[in-house]
Amino acid sequence: MEEILATAQCPYCGVGCGLEIFKDKKGRVKIRGDKSHPATKGDLCLKPIPFPKVMNIGRVPSPLYRENKKEQFREISWEEAVKIIASKLKENKPDENYFYISGQLTTEDSYLINKFVKGFVKTNNIDANSRLCMASAVMGYKLSFGSDGPPGSYEDIDDADAFIFAGSNAAWTHPVLFKRVLKRKKELPQAKIVVIDPVFTATAEKADIWVDINPGTDTVLFNSILYLLEKKGWIDFDFIKKHTQNFSEALEEAYKYPPEIASKICGIKESLIYKLAEIYAFSKKIISFWTMGFNQSTNGTMKNLSLINVHLATGRINEKGCPFSLTGQPNAMGGREVGYLVNGLPGYRDVRNSEDRRYMEKFWGIPEGSIKENPGMTIVEAVDKIISGDIKLFWIVCTNPAVTMPNLNKFWKALRNTFVIVQDAYLTDSVDYANLVLPASQWGEKEGVMTGSDRTITYNRPFSEPPSQCKHDWEIFCLVAKEMGWEEFFPYKNSREIFDEYKKTTKGRLCDISDWNYEDLPKKWGGKWLYRDKKFPTESDKARFNRAVYTPAADNTDYPYSIVLTTGRTKKQWHTMTRTGKALELLRDETEPFILLNDEDSLELGIFDNDYINIRSVRGQIYIKAKVGKIKRGVAFAPFGYGKIYHFPTNILVSDAVDPVSKEPELKFSAVYIKAKKKR
């Protein structure tokens, strides 16, 4: 007999598929889609299927410690580990500590760590890997709508007739969502799929139109679309008048980019811009999806604003469409709801707002003034402070920045220069730089909720006991709190108690779940539309147009660094491959990193498929296998997830310049020099 063990949200991408974990007739633990899940209805991709087979490979064996990073680790007890951390926290000034957490944590973990750091350590130096992923989208939404969160849901796909994928290879990165788009296209063959990307991705292969844009120039393209929409009278005057403000400001900027100018900057045909304007103007319902191709840019916030401006100008909200950013991590949305970035507080509150600070201080029972007013340092900004010795403790929870951070040589130097704690289920690359390693339980071994990209909240029921040496992430912070003398504020016995506390902070907020409980779940839908009555949480209840100003990428592409490297994911691997990289069925065909080159570029350089080549940027160099394929001339693509075990992580080459508003780094535009194999 088959036995259902649990239902949960997939631990990988932000689509947030509902999974059912069961024991088959032979007693083997297996994973399949959960048909009753409201967002994904039983669909799933290949990635989570081998999880039960690999979940215990490469686990952290016990708390590990070394004072000096040149020494070997020795096993220590939890008591000793907790005492070491507490003594460091007591020794350091609040802002000498830095916490780097993850969108893979449950909402309860993120809430509790945020409370520990902002309320009790009294620093706002806490950031999450969402900074490398979604920070520009968060700013785009907040500046346009007054609050974070995509306004639509996956159901919008089922009656849309146009889909724009901007800087998103959803066919690989969000496959279940893309499958739903293809299903709609099959039902309605005239529906349009447009892909805006310098790489001819698997998503572009299925598209009606591929816009092979120059990297980093999307703001120009969307400004030009807005220019055309207005010139041709294709805007929704009624919507603009009733529900928006500042249109003339956005338009003034857009007027700098008529198609004849924009096409040159973007490196595309003018006719493509006309085509896109027509699609925005005349489709019945249009959804624009975007991910890192937009966000990971020094112009990332502006790209987001320019796209949302086009939606506002054509009234493409709710029944007529949605500007829909997709998250890369499974619970990036939940983390944003609890405010786990440098400026956030629970319930979409902000440390810069005195009412919000007072509310949370009262709620947590701490003296007025405990929460600092100024946002903490974002992760890329913190690197210089670590190198200069201003940050003395760097605590990494459930993420692997030793592979994902930009300009890795510099980041590794920073890690060598401070006391590093790595709290993780696995011995990741980041462990190489740690003084203290804490074995944590992981997905499948702990309960808690996660929020997917369309705001559906799923309760994760555990189906496996963690190895005996592991503790839950929230439990580890409670132990340290006890050692610090804060026990009465961290009395939790289980994650349900944390959930019950957190949900009260959401009352009356946009993410209100104050009347929910674990029993209502496992799956509760966030609702079809966020701004159902087209009232937006701004001073005037109106959405805001914003001036979307284009600035070129930070790297200089003068000779010899004249190829632009962009990065992304592969089809079957997820993030830094700590789990998917251990499953043979997922690793097959993806056993080593590669760089994709344009065929004319490769011919000119004398490089052919499978040649090992040297690539340099001003930040470092790597050796990597070449692949020749369909990508814009002058652009190269490499996956970022392969760690040191595969030799050279790609991000050694990658730019750490940041967007001035969102502070998200420019992982998608790095000028590189590719050494020719032979002179032709």
Q: What is the signed CA dihedral for 513, 517, 518, 522, rounded to 10 degrees? A: -50
Characterize the bridge pairing of strands 612-617 and 620-629: antiparallel
| Interaction of residue 162 with ligand SF4, rule CB under 6 A | no
Of 176 and 377, nearer to ligand SF4 (C-beta) is 176
| Interaction of residue 176 with ligand SF4, rule CB under 6 A | yes
d(CA 616, CA 596): 15
Which of 29, 30, 32, 49 lies closest to 41 in space, CA to CA? 32
Tell me: cis bond preceding 639? Omega within 30 of 0 counts. Answer: no
d(CA 248, CA 259): 19
Of 47 and 523, nearer to ligand SF4 (C-beta) is 47
Of 326 and 380, nearer to ligand SF4 (C-beta) is 326
- The least CB distance from residue 524 to ligand SF4, in Å, is 17
- The least CB distance from residue 86 to ligand SF4, in Å, is 37
- The least CB distance from residue 649 to ligand SF4, in Å, is 22
- The least CB distance from residue 174 to ligand SF4, in Å, is 6
Of 42 and 94, nearer to ligand SF4 (C-beta) is 42
| Interaction of residue 178 with ligand SF4, rule CB under 6 A | no
d(CA 523, CA 185): 28
Instruction: Tell the burial category of 174 from Cβ atoms under 10 Å away from its Cβ (0-12, 13-18, 19+).
Output: buried
- Only one of the segments 74-82, 108-116, 168-176, 390-398 lies at the binding site for ligand SF4 (rule: CB under 6 A); that segment is 168-176
Of 17 and 658, nearer to ligand SF4 (C-beta) is 17
- The least CB distance from residue 45 to ligand SF4, in Å, is 3
Q: Which of residues 142-161 bind ligand SF4 (CB under 6 A)?
A: none
- The least CB distance from residue 28 to ligand SF4, in Å, is 19
- Only one of the segments 169-177, 257-265, 275-283, 619-627 lies at the binding site for ligand SF4 (rule: CB under 6 A); that segment is 169-177
Which of 408, 399, 349 lies closest to 102 in space, CA to CA? 399
| Interaction of residue 170 with ligand SF4, rule CB under 6 A | no
Q: Which of residues 13-72 bind ligand SF4 (CB under 6 A)?
A: 13, 15-17, 44-45, 47-48
> Can you tell me which of 5, 8, 10, 479 binds ligand SF4, judged by CB under 6 A?
10
- Only one of the segments 5-13, 58-66, 495-503, 661-669 lies at the binding site for ligand SF4 (rule: CB under 6 A); that segment is 5-13
Residue 438, token pair as written in the block: 């804490």
- Only one of the segments 7-15, 398-406, 508-516, 551-559 lies at the binding site for ligand SF4 (rule: CB under 6 A); that segment is 7-15
Q: Is the dihedral of CA 184, 189, 190, 192 positive or negative?
A: positive
Of 174 and 357, nearer to ligand SF4 (C-beta) is 174
- The least CB distance from residue 334 to ligand SF4, in Å, is 14
- The least CB distance from residue 503 to ligand SF4, in Å, is 24
| Interaction of residue 12 with ligand SF4, rule CB under 6 A | yes
Strands (DSSP E) contained in 452-521 are 457-460
Of 43 and 212, nearer to ligand SF4 (C-beta) is 43
CA distances from residue 79 to 63, 96, 160, 347 in whole angstroms, order as listed: 10, 23, 56, 34
- Only one of the segments 9-17, 20-28, 119-127, 260-268 lies at the binding site for ligand SF4 (rule: CB under 6 A); that segment is 9-17
- Only one of the segments 125-133, 170-178, 625-633, 667-675 lies at the binding site for ligand SF4 (rule: CB under 6 A); that segment is 170-178
| Interaction of residue 213 with ligand SF4, rule CB under 6 A | no
Q: Is 315 helix (H, G, I), strand (E, B) or coil?
A: coil
| Interaction of residue 575 with ligand SF4, rule CB under 6 A | no
Tell me which residue has tokens 């709620």.
363
| Degrees, nearest 5: CA angle 37-177-588 | 105
Q: What is the DSSP letter of 397?
A: E
Of 336 and 357, nearer to ligand SF4 (C-beta) is 336
- The least CB distance from residue 104 to ligand SF4, in Å, is 12
- The least CB distance from residue 14 to ligand SF4, in Å, is 7
End-to-end Cα, the chain, rounded Å: 67
Of 15 and 427, nearer to ligand SF4 (C-beta) is 15
Which of 220, 192, 209, 195 lies closest to 286 in space, CA to CA? 192
Using CB under 6 A, count the residues that bind ligand SF4.
Answer: 13
Residue 268, token pair as written in the block: 């595309």
State the CB neighbour count (10 A cutoff) for residue 588.
9
Residue 37, token pair as written in the block: 């899940």
Q: What is the largest CA-CA distance in the chain?
A: 73
Residues 6+ apart with CB under 8 A from 274: 228, 259
Which of 560, 551, 548 lies closest to 666 in space, CA to CA? 551
Site residues for ligand SF4 per CB under 6 A: 10, 12-13, 15-17, 44-45, 47-48, 174-176
